[in-house]
Amino acid sequence: MTENANLSTSYVGLGRRLLAIMYDLFLLLALFFIATVVAMVLNRGTIESGQTLYPYYVACLVIISFSFYGWFWTHGGQTLGMKTWKMKLQQSNGHSVTWPLALIRFITAIISWSAAGLGLLWSLFHPQRRTWHDIASNCVLVDLRPGR
């Protein structure tokens, strides 16, 4: 991005970011529900820690999560929650997010959340409101509301 373009760009704060995450979580939970039903049918009605198929079930949920977010990030830069709250994910230079960057972002987001949310709270102090996963993947979350 040029310096002039950077001055006119508005970035999304933590509150709207969390609202979009909550919106997307409902969609992701629906996919988890379907995966769980399939896993339970394959495992005779139960899914519990310690069972032989349990690690595969957990891996399946991680793959579903990455596929969900990765597809939206690389195809237009917006999940449904991001569209609703009028924001878009893009690289810092304005280009679309690639699959390798989506993977870096996904893994770092897990770390951001796992560290008691410190990776998200980082956006409160960063000039472009970037989280750890934004920084690691060289991305920004741009505010698309008119007049911003």
Residue 119 lies in a domain: yes
Residue 148 lies in a domain: no
- What total number of domains does the chain contain? 1
Residue 2 lies in a domain: no
Instruction: Give residue 104's pLDDT.
Output: 98
pLDDT per position in the chain (148 positions), as tens?
A: 444 444 578 999 999 999 999 999 999 999 999 999 999 998 888 888 888 889 999 999 999 999 999 999 999 999 999 999 999 999 999 999 999 999 999 999 999 999 999 999 999 999 999 999 999 999 999 999 988 6
Q: Which amino acid is at 106?
A: F
Residue 34 lies in a domain: yes
Q: Which has the closest alpha carbon to 95: 111, 76, 113? A: 76
Residue 73 lies in a domain: yes
Instruction: Give residue 83's pLDDT.
Output: 97
pTM: 0.89
| Residue 132 belongs to domain spanning | 11-143
Q: State the Cα angle at 89 between 67 and 115, rounded to 5°.
A: 70
Residue 3 lies in a domain: no
Instruction: Give residue 7's pLDDT.
Output: 54
Strand ranges for 2-143 from DSSP E: 87-91, 139-143
Q: Percent helix, strand and coil across the chain, each rounded to 5?
A: 60, 5, 30
